[in-house]
Structure 1
């Protein structure tokens, strides 16, 4: 575990430094360099852990603990590897460990029986950068984002993490393979299956939403009925010409 070095008056800049340079400096106790690593990879690690834990608050705790583990082990990082995949492995182990500690069923990411999953049988259970930034557009995008997040959360565990790294973080097949210790063929298969399940789920959500579109019950119905009745009363009470 590196000891935190005192910051010199002219500490080397972290902006523009490569991951390997930052890792080497962190191994010497440079907390500023490690902070740069965290800021650079926070989103990747959060999304990765979130794909396992499906809880924002627990994911934040897991990411923090993963970084502490990374800090203690940074001296073992090999500069011929990618720091991002090294960090992903650490945060996945931390997230899976949390699942085990709370007694949840943990399906290994390299499990052999996860590639035959039936579509979601309950389509109604999950409900639903614009240039002009109009409030209506922003609200619509927020609803779509929430719908997507709910559907991603419902993907099978092994598929969800592959999808998060490939589609959301845009990691390559090779990078995802290394990060998850999976054969590249398995990464491709699970990513394809995840996209298929996601499309099926979103399509069903759209069908449910279309059934509710332009709903005519509730206040709108009451308002029209009241308006017509009021007009009838007015017409009846008005003297005939």
Structure 2
């Protein structure tokens, strides 16, 4: 009955959603309360973005993966049974979305590489210059160029250099402060594997960074307010468009 009363009456004030259980919040969203959905996104944006970026190593791809994951979660929310925390359920969705995008990237890269190699074999000298320019033109985004803190940049660069499997575990354990069990649930790997990968990831980082950098790990890949607003706005726009089309 408590869930029903919440879904039939709009909650006054976004902060009030913080008092709800995961299942109650899900019921509000299922009742098409977009304020509840916005609250959900703002709560978990940073974790989901960091998770996606740890897999994709691209800020733009990570943002798009988070948006698509939210859309999928919105459509599948009726299947949420609170057997796991809502945060864990969402993280699994974004992990799957990120790996799907990564596989597509790898296929596109392989096809593009084969195509360009063929072009190099058959091209005239002028055409070859254009082909090579595609690989030498800087692609750094303004956001990447604007990194102000050298220490933070150094940490992020070294996290990116971690092996793929280690990096995802490290981001969830060190940056998001998830427990071994939560990380295991999110990534679908045994707890013993989480412990081993996290231990080895820390050792690799310590080999590259001085010990005094340890206290700055939690600041890496900070989730700027502008990015948070952009993701929330884009997802809500897509949800409203879908509702109008029905």
* 1:46 equivalent among 31, 45, 49: 49
**Deviations 1:77-120, CA, capped at 9 Å, x for gaps:** 11231111111110011111111112269xxxxxxxxxxxxxxx
- Report the equivalent of 1:164: 171
- Report the equivalent of 1:195: 202
User: Residue 18 of structure 1: CA displacement?
Assistant: 3.0
- Cα distance in 1 between the residues matched to 2:175 and 2:181: 16
TM-score (norm 2): 0.62
| Residues 57 and 104 (structure 1), Cα distance of their counterparts in 2 relative to 1, 3 Å cut | same
8 A contact 1:66–1:94 mirrored in 2: yes
- Report the equivalent of 1:178: 185
**Deviations 1:31-72, CA, capped at 9 Å, x for gaps:** 211111100000000000000011111111110010000000
Q: Higher relative CO (CA 8 A, sep ≥ 6), structure 1 or 2?
A: 2
Give unmatched runs, 5+ long, in structure 1.
106-140, 207-241
User: Residue 17 of structure 1: CA displacement?
Assistant: 2.5
Aligned residue pairs, count:
166
Deviates more, 1:65-74 or 1:13-22: 13-22
- Report the equivalent of 1:143: 150
Give unmatched runs, 5+ long, in structure 2.
1-6, 109-147, 214-246
8 A contact 2:11–2:17 mirrored in 1: no
| Residues 8 and 54 (structure 1), Cα distance of their counterparts in 2 relative to 1, 3 Å cut | same
Q: Any idea what SS the aligned residue of 1:182 has?
A: coil
8 A contact 1:22–1:36 mirrored in 2: no
More helix by share: 2
- Cα distance in 1 between the residues matched to 2:10 and 2:89: 29
TM-score (norm 1): 0.63
